[in-house]
Amino acid sequence: MGNVVISGLQQGLIYGFMTLGVLLTFYILDFPDLTVEGSFPLGAAITARAVVEGIDPLLAVLCGAIAGGMAGAATGLMNTRLKVNNILAGILTTSAIYTVMLRSMGRPNISLLGNINFYERVLSLFGLSEAGFSLFELQIATISILFLMVVGVRLLLGWFLNTDLGLTIRATGSNEKMMRSLGIDTKHTKLLTLILSNSLVGFSGALACQIQGFADVGMGIGVLVAAIASVILGEILSGKNNLKMLLTGVVLGSILYRALLALGLRLNLPAEDFKMVTAVLVLLALALPNIKIRKKSTIQKVLTQKLSSRKNVEASSFNNVCNCTEANEMEARK
């Protein structure tokens, strides 16, 4: 069970950056960005190639995040300048990214075995060496690094979305036509959000390849579905009325989702069934809020019927009392 928790925390925190990026586009901007399945492996590919070439892993991860942001910029420019449909723009960018990854890596995958990774480099900044840690201690150290990074990004994102620019992004997602009528250039707003979102996605891919020890052109298959499932789980856990709680909730949703997958591996679930499990988890996450709403509406109907019947009984009783009183008064007058 301990392995499930550790795996869920490690993978959940890494993919938490991607979940925050997907939250920006799909939920806040209301922009279905399919670039995610391209910018995630692109960040991994650029980072892996940079590490193999001898670049510092810290700079390599930054390069991966920048590459993801450039992918988002390509989608944004196609949508805002060339008037390409947002879904089609994401598909075109993802298709082009495949070639970019093959060109940058020179082959479909790159192994990082024998190279210092990002987490070892961070530990070395504090004078710590991997050799001085047991496997469990190294896993805890990695989780601690990821946790501090996720908290920092979460706080920065929460602050940014409450600035004037952040409020403009939120308002554009709520009512783009009204923002245009107020003279605000929503094209720049969309472009900036797509760059920021895919930078987080590319950063997530860069961290993922560092902990896995390799980068592959197929790393992005299915990550968008997983991110959306994490966002929905986060919305269920925290609600959608409070943005600060939602930002925290989607990270918790990512951890929960990855923990469930790790539990499936622990229970010896066949690897070929994982796509089905992912689909079922997403379906449950989508259906659960509707089930809750139906239950609430049913309860409200029952309560309304009971209250109305009680009011009718009370009204009839009151009328009977009034009639009896009037009859008694008339008899008394006679």
| Residue ranges making up the domain that contains 325 | 288-334
Taking only the tens place, the pLDDT of each residue in 207-218 is: 999 999 999 999
Same domain membership, residue 54 and residue 117: yes
Q: 10 Å Cβ neighbour count for 5?
A: 14
Same domain membership, residue 319 and residue 217: no
Same domain membership, residue 208 and residue 128: yes
Q: How many domains does the chain have?
A: 2
Question: What tokens appear for 58 in the block?
Answer: 């810290």
326 beta partners: none
Residue 276: per-residue pLDDT: 78
Same domain membership, residue 325 and residue 245: no
In a domain, 223, yes or no: yes
Residue 296: per-residue pLDDT: 54
In a domain, 146, yes or no: yes
Torsion of CA 217, 218, 221, 226, to 10 degrees: -90
Same domain membership, residue 154 and residue 26: yes
Interhelix angle for 135-160 vs 243-266, to 10°? 150
Same domain membership, residue 130 and residue 243: yes
In a domain, 277, yes or no: no
Same domain membership, residue 242 and residue 108: yes
Residue 1: per-residue pLDDT: 59
In a domain, 282, yes or no: no
Identify which of 193, 167, 160, 181 has the alpha carbon closest to the alpha carbon of residue 31: 193
Residue 284: per-residue pLDDT: 76
**For residue 282, how many C-alpha atoms fall within 13 Å in the half-sphere facing its CB?**
14
Same domain membership, residue 146 and residue 15: yes
Burial of 94 (0-12, 13-18, 19+ CB in 10 A): buried
Residue 306: per-residue pLDDT: 57
Residues of the chain below pLDDT 70:
1-2, 271, 285, 288-334
d(CA 325, CA 304): 31
Residue at a domain's end among 234, 269, 304: 269
Residue 166: per-residue pLDDT: 93
Same domain membership, residue 309 and residue 198: no
Task: For residue 36, give the CATH number of its domain.
Answer: 1.10.3470
Burial of 274 (0-12, 13-18, 19+ CB in 10 A): middle
In a domain, 279, yes or no: no
Same domain membership, residue 303 and residue 262: no
In a domain, 189, yes or no: yes
Residue 22: per-residue pLDDT: 95
Residue 265: per-residue pLDDT: 74
110 beta partners: 215
In a domain, 278, yes or no: no
The position carrying tokens 């909730």 is 249
Same domain membership, residue 196 and residue 227: yes
Enter the DSSP assignment of 133: S
Identify which of 57, 56, 107, 69 has the alpha carbon closest to the alpha carbon of residue 218: 107
For β-strands 214-216 and 109-111, DSSP reports them as antiparallel
Residue 70: per-residue pLDDT: 96
Taking only the tens place, the pLDDT of each residue in 235-265 is: 888 877 788 899 999 999 999 888 888 887 7
d(CA 158, CA 243): 8
In a domain, 105, yes or no: yes
Same domain membership, residue 293 and residue 144: no
